[in-house]
Structure 1
Amino acid sequence: MNTFKTVKKKFKSAFEEILAKENNYEIDEAALPAYAHKNVLIDYLFWKRIRVAFDFGNSNGHGKKVLDFGCGSGVLSYLLAQNDYEVTACDLEFGPLNLVREKIEFPKNIDFVEGDIATKDFPDGSFDLIFALDVLEHVENLEDYIRLFNRLLTPNGIVIVSGPTENILYKIGRKFAGDRFTGDYHVTNIASIKDKFNNHNSVRTVKKLIVPFVLFEVFAATKNKLSNTNG
């Protein structure tokens, strides 16, 4: 079992090698420039979100069948699989992930599914946990995916979500980070996403990443809405 620090070091090295040779929109949207960034604050923010989401999911004992929705470069999928989860890793297209897989051998207990998960034939209750990290701010028909997630979850299953606040300081920080930071087409922010989940699920804040202002938030949405615990 690899520690988070070991996984981070391995992936950062792979990302740096890829970025030295490749420069395209898909790589930028998969956040490789962010995860390989030399700035200490940017490095902290991007890797901390993964650590917070993973630690929360791993501490709840909700089972080992996991969907990594919008898996991007595959960091979280790799980390989960190394910790004995059965992982389904999905994204609309696997261009950046395939470059990473040329440099890193992924565990066998990951099922890679390319394309829109809504078009795939997964039975109800297929997953104990669904991770959607920094992806739902791109989704226009969010209510449809919330209903899909709830159908795919086991009873009391959890969706763990992270996303940007999109406040003015976040936008300034994104410009400061460099030209390879995209996201201008974000259709929503984490507060709006959280509100929509709260219409269907019991929602609670896991962590707000503050440096010293809130740039990102991680929250958890439980399938069965027994009470409003929205943080």
Structure 2
Amino acid sequence: MLTQLNHIRARRADLRRDIDVVHSFEAWEESCVPSYCHPNWLAAYVSWIRLFRAAELARTIVPAPARILDFGSSVGELGHLVSEGGAGYDFVESDQHSADYLVSRLPGARRVTLEDAPEGGYDQLFAIDSLEHNENYAELLEVLAGKLAPGGVLILSGPTENRLYRLGRRIAGFDGHYHETTIYAIEAVAERLLARRAVRQVLPVAPLFRISAWARKS
């Protein structure tokens, strides 16, 4: 726990040093940066801890991955937990500012598109709070499933959009207009494509986000 808190403090300080979230909120709103840097420590902690939960869940299924793909990576905070210095870490990110920041912190990271990412090329594949931002999430998920290597794991995470989540989002100052769907709808598509291995909640007592692990069907 202390190691996690020290990591969060260090990364929050780095983000705040280089990104003025207050005066450029609209530019970063759809990313996770305002949540990571939120002045309310509890609101920020929920955003950070889901990264730790996702990385831990992936490691229980694929303990020593060599090839990682982070879809919708934002500024790449997950990359600090799942790869050493960016080695073996590919990412898909449409926002240039986020991608530039990511590479400045993880110089070994490689930016790819879904088109050029290799089929069956990844041992750990993450879509953390990203698919729900897209109307064509089902199509994207089908493409992502094809990138999964035999024996690999796909980790999905997203907001539940339940009443508690929506209340917390309003209190934190976000409106969520960019969310096109829920994690339940995304998981329903995943059920058709892959085999579910596990489901976790970020906070067991507060079902705000769900994290799930998926593998190729036998």
CA distance in 2, matches of 1:35, 1:99: 15
**Alpha-carbon distance, 1:83 to partner:** 7.0
Alpha carbons of 1:86 and 1:6: their partners in 2 closer, same or farther (altered >3 Å)? farther
CA distance in 1, matches of 2:41, 2:201: 18
**TM-score, normalised relative to structure 1:** 0.82
**Alpha-carbon distance, 1:109 to partner:** 2.7
**Alpha-carbon distance, 1:57 to partner:** 1.6
**1:27-82 alpha-carbon deviations (Å, 9 max, x no partner):** 12112121112323212211110000111222322631000100001111233222
Residue 154 of structure 1 aligns with which residue? 149
Residue 9 of structure 1 aligns with which residue? 9
Alpha carbons of 1:136 and 1:53: their partners in 2 closer, same or farther (altered >3 Å)? same
CA distance in 2, matches of 1:108, 1:32: 19
Mapping 1:22-171, distance limit 5 Å: 22-59=23-60, 60-61=62-63, 63-82=65-84, 85-99=87-101, 105-113=104-112, 117-118=113-114, 120-171=115-166
Residue 212 of structure 1 aligns with which residue? 205
Alpha carbons of 1:83 and 1:121: their partners in 2 closer, same or farther (altered >3 Å)? closer
**Alpha-carbon distance, 1:20 to partner:** 5.8
CA distance in 2, matches of 1:211, 1:150: 28
Aligned residue among 177, 188, 192 for 1:195: 188
Letter in 2 for 1:35: Y
1:199 alignment partner, SS class: helix
User: Does structure 2 conserve the Cα–Cα contact (< 8 Å) formed by 1:62 and 1:157?
Assistant: no
**Alpha-carbon distance, 1:121 to partner:** 2.1
Letter in 2 for 1:126: G
Alpha carbons of 1:160 and 1:85: their partners in 2 closer, same or farther (altered >3 Å)? farther
User: Does structure 2 conserve the Cα–Cα contact (< 8 Å) formed by 1:65 and 1:86?
Assistant: yes
| Aligned sequence identity (%) | 29
Residue 183 of structure 1 aligns with which residue? 176
**Greater mean alpha carbon deviation, residues 125-134 or residues 135-144:** 135-144
User: Does structure 2 conserve the Cα–Cα contact (< 8 Å) formed by 1:126 and 1:154?
Assistant: yes
CA distance in 2, matches of 1:81, 1:211: 27
Q: How many residues align?
A: 214
Q: CA-atom RMSD, angstroms?
A: 2.3
**TM-score, normalised relative to structure 2:** 0.87
* Gap runs ≥5 in structure 1: 227-231
**Greater mean alpha carbon deviation, residues 39-48 or residues 91-100:** 91-100
